[in-house]
C-alpha cells in the first residue's frame, strides 16, 4: 500500500510479535481465564448434554442396548412416552406456574415499595429501607419453615401449627402447595425487584417528572407515562432474575410441596439425581436451561436498545419527593402490617418455636432451652443434644464459615479479575468471550449446577492419562469450586462495574510512568477498587451462607453446612432444632451485612443488575 521502510525484516517482526504477547502478563491472565472458564463451565455443560444421550449400566437391559452407547432412551422417555405427563409436563407446568406468579407478585410488591421509598414522602424511611431488604437476608427455606410453623395442619401427622393450636382450621390448600409456595417465594424475591427498581428510580432526574407536571399532567399520568417507562428496563431485568431463580428453587418446593405431592422441575431433578437417574436429571436440567435462556432472550428483545434509559438524565439530579397527601397514613399502616406479617412474624415464630419442647404446645411450661443447649434426652430428637452441644452443628457451623470465607475471598478475586478483563476488553473479542462464558452459570439452575459438578468431579479428571484433578467427591474443594463458579456471574458483574469506574487514564498514567502490569494492578487498580472488593466479598459471603439448592446434592455428613443441617433436621421432623440452626445462620448473615454497611459501601443492588 505504501512504501515501507527498507529495514523491514520478517523474522524480526515475528520475534517482536511473540515477545509482545509473551511479555505482557495481561495476555497470560486472559488466556488462563478463558481456559479455566472453558474447563469449568463449557465442559460441564457439554458433559451434561452427552451424558443425557449415553446409556447407563442400570438401564442397559431395559432400553435394550449396551452401557455407554449413544441413546435417545432418556429423551424419548421424557418427551414422548406414557410417562411424559407425569415426569415432565406436570412438573413443567407447575414450575411455570410458580415462575410466572412469583415474578408477577414479586415485581409488583418490589416496584411499589421502591417507588414509595425513593419517590414519595413516606415517613420512617430509614426504618423501612432496612426492613425491606431483610427478606433478602433470610433464606427462602427459612421462610417456608416459618410458614409451616404458622399454618401446619394435622394432615401430615406431627404437631399442629400456630393457627391450628389457636383453634383456627387451616385449609390444606393454604398450608401446602402452590399458594403457600407462591406466597413465600414472592415475599422472598420481591427484594430483587425492589433493589433493581429503586436503583433505576434513583438515577432518574426528577426534573423529567417535573417537566411532565409543568405540561399539566396529573400524578397518575406522570407515573404511567414518564416514570414507569423509564424504570421498565429495570423491572424486566428483575422479572428475568426472579423467574429464573423461582423455577430453579428447590428448598421451598420441598418444604411446602412435597407433602401434597406438588412437584416442579427442580424437585423432580433433585429426586432423579438422588436416585441415580443422572441421565434423566440432566435432560431435565437442559430443559430448564432452555427455559432460562429463552426468558433472557425475550428480555433482551423486549428491552433492546432502551437498556440505557435509566442513565439518561445523567447526574441523578435533584429529587423532589411526591406527596402522598391524605393517603399517607393508610399507606404507612399497610406497610407496617406488611412488615409485621411478612417479616417480623416469621422470624418471631421461628424463635418462639425453637424454645418449644413439643411442637404445637404453646403453653409456658413447654418452653425450654433444650434445642439450644440441652444435654441429650433419649425421648427427644433420638437423643441428640442441643445444637451448641452437638458436634454435627459445630461441624456444620465451621464448614459454613469456612466455605463462605474461602468463597468470599476466591469468588471476589476471580470476579474482580474477570471484571477487569471484561472492562478492559470491552468491544474486543476476548472481552466478549469472557463475558459470555461467565454468564452461562446464570442460566443453569442451582440444583442442576450442583448435579453437573457432582458427576464431573466424582471421577478423577484426566488429560492424556495424567490426573489433573483427583476425585473430589465429598470434599470441601468440590463445594468451593461449585459455589465460586456458580456465583461468578454476579461476582464478575460487580467486578466489571467496579473496574469501569476506574478511568483507563489512571492506569495509562502509570504505564507512562514506567509501571509494569503487576505494579499497576497492585498500586493503582487494586487500591482504587478496594471498596468494590469488600462489598463484593460481603455479597458472596451472604449469598453462600444461605445457599441450599446449589450444594444440596454435593453434601456428605462431613461437609454439611448450616442450611443443609437445618434441612435435614426439618426432614427428620425436628423443626425446633432446624429453627435454631436457621436463627444462628440468619444472625451471622445479618451481622455480616451490618458490618459491611458500616465499614464498606456494600451495595446489594450492584451485585445483581441482571
Partner 1 sequence: MSKIELKHIDKFYGKNHILKDVNLTIEDGDFMTLLGPSGCGKTTTLRVVSGLEKPQNGTIHMDGKEIVNAAEAHFAPPSERDLNLVFQSYALWPHMTVRENIAFGLNIQKLPKDEVDRRIKDALGRMQIGQYVDRYPSELSGGQQQRVAIARAIASEPHLLLMDEPLSNLDAKLRVDMRSELKRLHTETGTTMIYVTHDQVEALTMSTKIAIFREGIIIQVAHPLELYNNPANLYVADFIGNPRINFVDGKAEVSASGLTVNSVLGRMTFPADHLKDENMPQEASFDAVLGIRPEQIAINTSRQSPSDIEAHIYTSMPAGSETLVTVKVGGVSMVIKALGITHYNPDQVVYLSIDTTKINVFDKKTENLIKYSVE
Binding site for partner 1 (CB under 8 A): 1-5, 7-9, 12-14, 16-17, 20, 503, 505-506, 508-515, 519, 523-524, 527-528
Cell numbers representing residue 56 in the block = 447407563
Cell numbers representing residue 434 in the block = 469472557
Q: Which is nearer to partner 1, 345 or 500 (CB)?
A: 500
> Could you tell me if residue 139 is left (phi over 0), alpha (psi between -120 and 50 degrees) or otherwise beta?
beta
Specify the 3-state DSSP secondary structure of 467: strand
- Distance between CA 186 and CA 288 in Å, rounded? 20
Q: Both ends of the chain: CA-CA distance in Å?
A: 47
If you write DSSP's letter for every residue of 106-128 in order, what string do you get?
Answer: HHHHHHHHHHHHHHB--SSHHHH
Least spacing, CB of residue 24 vs partner 1, in Å: 10
Least spacing, CB of residue 431 vs partner 1, in Å: 13
Cell numbers representing residue 432 in the block = 466478549
Q: Which is nearer to partner 1, 337 or 506 (CB)?
A: 506
Least spacing, CB of residue 170 vs partner 1, in Å: 59
Say if CB 385 and CB 375 are below 8 A apart. Answer: yes
Q: Where does 425-445 have alpha helices with state H?
A: 429-443
Q: Which is nearer to partner 1, 52 or 416 (CB)?
A: 416
Least spacing, CB of residue 23 vs partner 1, in Å: 9
Least spacing, CB of residue 10 vs partner 1, in Å: 8
Q: Which is nearer to partner 1, 507 or 579 (CB)?
A: 507
Least spacing, CB of residue 427 vs partner 1, in Å: 8
- Distance between CA 260 and CA 176 in Å, rounded? 7
- Distance between CA 137 and CA 541 in Å, rounded? 11
Helix/strand/coil percentages in the chain, nearest 5:
75, 0, 25
Q: Which is nearer to partner 1, 8 or 464 (CB)?
A: 8
- Distance between CA 201 and CA 111 in Å, rounded? 10
Strands 466-469 and 461-463: antiparallel
Say if CB 374 and CB 385 are below 8 A apart. Answer: yes
Specify the 3-state DSSP secondary structure of 54: strand
Q: Which is nearer to partner 1, 62 or 513 (CB)?
A: 513
Q: Which is nearer to partner 1, 4 or 318 (CB)?
A: 4
Q: Which is nearer to partner 1, 5 or 375 (CB)?
A: 5
> Could you tell me if residue 427 is left (phi over 0), alpha (psi between -120 and 50 degrees) or otherwise beta?
left
Q: Which is nearer to partner 1, 6 or 365 (CB)?
A: 6
If you write DSSP's letter for every residue of 509-539 in order, what string do you get?
Answer: HHHHTT--HHHHIIIIIHHHTHHHHHHHHHH
Q: Which is nearer to partner 1, 14 or 42 (CB)?
A: 14
Least spacing, CB of residue 500 vs partner 1, in Å: 15
Q: Which is nearer to partner 1, 18 or 337 (CB)?
A: 18
Least spacing, CB of residue 14 vs partner 1, in Å: 8
Say if CB 75 and CB 81 are below 8 A apart. Answer: no
Say if CB 327 and CB 116 are below 8 A apart. Answer: no
Least spacing, CB of residue 460 vs partner 1, in Å: 43
Cell numbers 453446612 correspond to what residue? 561
Least spacing, CB of residue 4 vs partner 1, in Å: 5
Phi, psi at residue 472, to the nearest 5°?
-105, 10
Cell numbers representing residue 261 in the block = 405431592
Please state, in angstroms and as integers, the Cα–Cα distance from residue 136 to each residue in 75, 150, 187, 452, 605, following that order: 37, 21, 9, 27, 11
Least spacing, CB of residue 528 vs partner 1, in Å: 6
Least spacing, CB of residue 507 vs partner 1, in Å: 9
Of the candidates 487, 52, 57, 482, the one whose C-alpha atom is nearest the C-alpha of residue 288 is: 52
Q: Which is nearer to partner 1, 510 or 550 (CB)?
A: 510
Beta-ladder partners of 467: 462
Q: Which is nearer to partner 1, 10 or 326 (CB)?
A: 10
Please tell me what DSSP assigns to residue 375: P
208: Cβ contacts below 8 Å, ≥ 6 apart: 226, 230, 313
Least spacing, CB of residue 30 vs partner 1, in Å: 17
Q: Which is nearer to partner 1, 391 or 429 (CB)?
A: 429
- R_g of the chain computed on alpha carbons: 26
Say if CB 119 and CB 210 are below 8 A apart. Answer: no
Least spacing, CB of residue 510 vs partner 1, in Å: 7
Amino acid at each position: 500500500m505504501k512504501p515501507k521502510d527498507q529495514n523491514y525484516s520478517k523474522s524480526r517482526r515475528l520475534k517482536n510479535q511473540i515477545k509482545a504477547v509473551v511479555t505482557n502478563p495481561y495476555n497470560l491472565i486472559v488466556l488462563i481465564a478463558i481456559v479455566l472458564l472453558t474447563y469449568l463451565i463449557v465442559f460441564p455443560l457439554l458433559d451434561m448434554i452427552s451424558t443425557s444421550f449415553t446409556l447407563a449400566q442400570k438401564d442397559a437391559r431395559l432400553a435394550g442396548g449396551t452401557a455407554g452407547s449413544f441413546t435417545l432412551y432418556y429423551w424419548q422417555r421424557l418427551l414422548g412416552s406414557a410417562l411424559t405427563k407425569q415426569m415432565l409436563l406436570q412438573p413443567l407446568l407447575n414450575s411455570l406456574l410458580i415462575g410466572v406468579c412469583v415474578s408477577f407478585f414479586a415485581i409488583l410488591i418490589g416496584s411499589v415499595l421502591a417507588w414509595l421509598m425513593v419517590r414519595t414522602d413516606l415517613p420512617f424511611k430509614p426504618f423501612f429501607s432496612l426492613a425491606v431488604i431483610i427478606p433478602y437476608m433470610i433464606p427462602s427455606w427459612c421462610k417456608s419453615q416459618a410458614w409451616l410453623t404458622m399454618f401446619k395442619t394435622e394432615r401430615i401427622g406431627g404437631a399442629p401449627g400456630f393457627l391450628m393450636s389457636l383453634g383456627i382450621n387451616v385449609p390444606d390448600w393454604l398450608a401446602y402447595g402452590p399458594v403457600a409456595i407462591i406466597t413465600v417465594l414472592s415475599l422472598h424475591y420481591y427484594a430483587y425487584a425492589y433493589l433493581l427498581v429503586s436503583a433505576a428510580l434513583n438515577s432518574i432526574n426528577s426534573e423529567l417528572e417535573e417537566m411532565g407536571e409543568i405540561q399539566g399532567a396529573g400524578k397518575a399520568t406522570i407515573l404511567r407515562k414518564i416514570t414507569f417507562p423509564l424504570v421498565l428496563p429495570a423491572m424486566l431485568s428483575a422479572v428475568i432474575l426472579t423467574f429464573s431463580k423461582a423455577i430453579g428453587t428447590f428448598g421451598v418446593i420441598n418444604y411446602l410441596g412435597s407433602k401434597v405431592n406438588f412437584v416442579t422441575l427442580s424437585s423432580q431433578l433433585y429426586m432423579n439425581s438422588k436416585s441415580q437417574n443422572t441421565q434423566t436429571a440432566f435432560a431435565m436440567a437442559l430443559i430448564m436451561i432452555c427455559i432460562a435462556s429463552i426468558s433472557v432472550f425475550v428480555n433482551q428483545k423486549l428491552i433492546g436498545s432502551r437498556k440505557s434509559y435509566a442513565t439518561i438524565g445523567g447526574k441523578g439530579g435533584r429529587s423532589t419527593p411526591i406527596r402522598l397527601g391524605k393517603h399517607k397514613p393508610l399507606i404507612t399502616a399497610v406497610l407496617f402490617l406488611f412488615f409485621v406479617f411478612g417479616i417480623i412474624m416469621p422470624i418471631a415464630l421461628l424463635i418462639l418455636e425453637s424454645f418449644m419442647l413439643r411442637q404445637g404446645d404453646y403453653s409456658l411450661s413447654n418452653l425450654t432451652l433444650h434445642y439450644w443447649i440441652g444435654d441429650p434426652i433419649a425421648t427427644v430428637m433420638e437423643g441428640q443434644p442441643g445444637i451448641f452441644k452437638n458436634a454435627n452443628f459445630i461441624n456444620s457451623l465451621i464448614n459454613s464459615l469456612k466455605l463462605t470465607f474461602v468463597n468470599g475471598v476466591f469468588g471476589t478475586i476471580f470476579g474482580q479479575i474477570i471484571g477487569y478483563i471484561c472492562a478492559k476488553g470491552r468491544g474486543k473479542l476476548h472481552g466478549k468471550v469472557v463475558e459470555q462464558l461467565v454468564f452461562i452459570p446464570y442460566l443453569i439452575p442451582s440444583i442442576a449446577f450442583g448435579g453437573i459438578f457432582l458427576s464431573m468431579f466424582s471421577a478423577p479428571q484426566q488429560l492424556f492419562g495424567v490426573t489433573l484433578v483427583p476425585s473430589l467427591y465429598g470434599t470441601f474443594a468440590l463445594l468451593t469450586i461449585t459455589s465460586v463458579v456458580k456465583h461468578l456471574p454476579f461476582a464478575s458483574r460487580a467486578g466489571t462495574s467496579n473496574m469501569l469506574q476506574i478511568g483507563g487514564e489512571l492506569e495509562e498514567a502509570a504505564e507512562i510512568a514506567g509501571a509494569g502490569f503487576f505494579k499497576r494492578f497492585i498500586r493503582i487498580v487494586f487500591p482504587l477498587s478496594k471498596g468494590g472488593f469488600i462489598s463484593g466479598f460481603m455479597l458472596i459471603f451472604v449469598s453462600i451462607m444461605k445457599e441450599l439448592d446449589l450444594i444440596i446434592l454435593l453434601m456428605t455428613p462431613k461437609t454439611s453446612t448450616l442450611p443443609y443441617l437445618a434441612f435435614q433436621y426439618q426432614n427428620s421432623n425436628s423443626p425446633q432444632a432446624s429453627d435454631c440452626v436457621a436463627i444462628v445462620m440468619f444472625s451471622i448473615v445479618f451481622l455480616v451485612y451490618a458490618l459491611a454497611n458500616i465499614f464498606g459501601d456494600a451495595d446489594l443492588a450492584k451485585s445483581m443488575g441482571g
